[in-house]
Structure 1
């Protein structure tokens, strides 16, 4: 009799422990978002990348023209050096080296300008995305929304059913397209006031 009471007590204790764990684990509503997928497929990031490439190409064309002119001037100076003498060649070389340094500084300035402009825009897009995910989590009643991705990940494994990336991405892109259409209208209205 004592053995059966002890076994019954152990069974009840084990059952109550397992039951408590199930309740605690199921008491939280969690999900995760694949942040690397968001960064690749969110329209705001795609637009920023496209704008950056266009601006980089525009700036690059201006620099390329100056580099080509410098190369031509180097070639012309080499041809003239024999006729005008070593002193002229030395002065011309200093002048061309100065122009080369200026082009290097111009290139660095262009890179910094692009980094400043698009870094700030990228940070703004990331901030909007994080705010949206936070608001989404509140609206849908999530206790936690984790992030996973290529670089940093707070999830090593999760069932596919907890992945809300597609839903978030669809809504982010829908909202972005809506605000992108409104911005030109605001710009046009501002231009009319002037």
Structure 2
């Protein structure tokens, strides 16, 4: 009987000595959407896209005007001459169309690469933030439902957004981890 009580006391003591795990969650989408780096990248690409659209529209107007002109001339030509002129027109504009498609694909690829970088930096930042603040786990709440419900007291989304934006705004002088550590020390 004494052994059972002693064993039970040891188990209770061992359980009470264990550190409480610190678990929180963030709304991944909100952190990404409010991350100033992402906002800056979107603004940069929005401007590039607007410039590209203006260039594309200008070329399209030139193409349309030239197309109308050639259509009027084709009406007075023989069928063979019409075919030759049509081919020459197509060959003239084909490289321009290919160049425009290539430019658009490059812009999309650059945007995708930079957005991947944003996500990677956010993940590294959250990892450093978690380590610095003693979290065992920081879960991500998203559309897929990895965290369907979480007590609002465990939601550190706003803290992470504030810290990651402070880190981004001071990025020239410090590494992300150093800034994450400083931001968490202030809290």
TM-score (norm 2): 0.76
Partner residue of 2:57?
64
* 1:179 aligned counterpart, secondary structure: coil
The Cα RMSD (Å) is 2.8
Distance 1:66 1:46, change over 3 A: same
* 1:173 aligned counterpart, secondary structure: helix
Partner residue of 1:165?
157
Partner residue of 2:38?
45
Partners of 1:129 and 1:172 within 8 A in 2: yes
Q: How does 1:22-101 map to 2 (within 5 A)?
A: 27-101=20-94
Residue from 159, 171, 174 that aligns with 2:166:
174
Distance 1:148 1:118, change over 3 A: same
| Deviation of the 1:174 alpha carbon | 1.2
Instruction: Count residues with an aligned counterpart.
Output: 165
**Counterpart Cα distance in 2 of 1:40 and 1:93:** 49
Unaligned runs of 5+ in 2: 1-7, 175-187
Partners of 1:33 and 1:146 within 8 A in 2: yes
Partner residue of 1:185?
none
**Counterpart Cα distance in 2 of 1:181 and 1:47:** 19
Residue from 111, 118, 122 that aligns with 1:118:
111
Residue from 146, 155, 163 that aligns with 1:154:
146
* 1:84 aligned counterpart, secondary structure: coil
**Counterpart Cα distance in 2 of 1:139 and 1:83:** 80
**Counterpart Cα distance in 2 of 1:126 and 1:103:** 35
Partner residue of 1:7?
none
| Deviation of the 1:25 alpha carbon | 10
2:97 matches 1:133: no
Partners of 1:70 and 1:96 within 8 A in 2: no
Partner residue of 2:185?
none
| Deviation of the 1:97 alpha carbon | 2.7
**Counterpart Cα distance in 1 of 2:150 and 2:16:** 19
Higher helix share: 1
**Counterpart Cα distance in 1 of 2:70 and 2:95:** 19
Partners of 1:77 and 1:89 within 8 A in 2: no
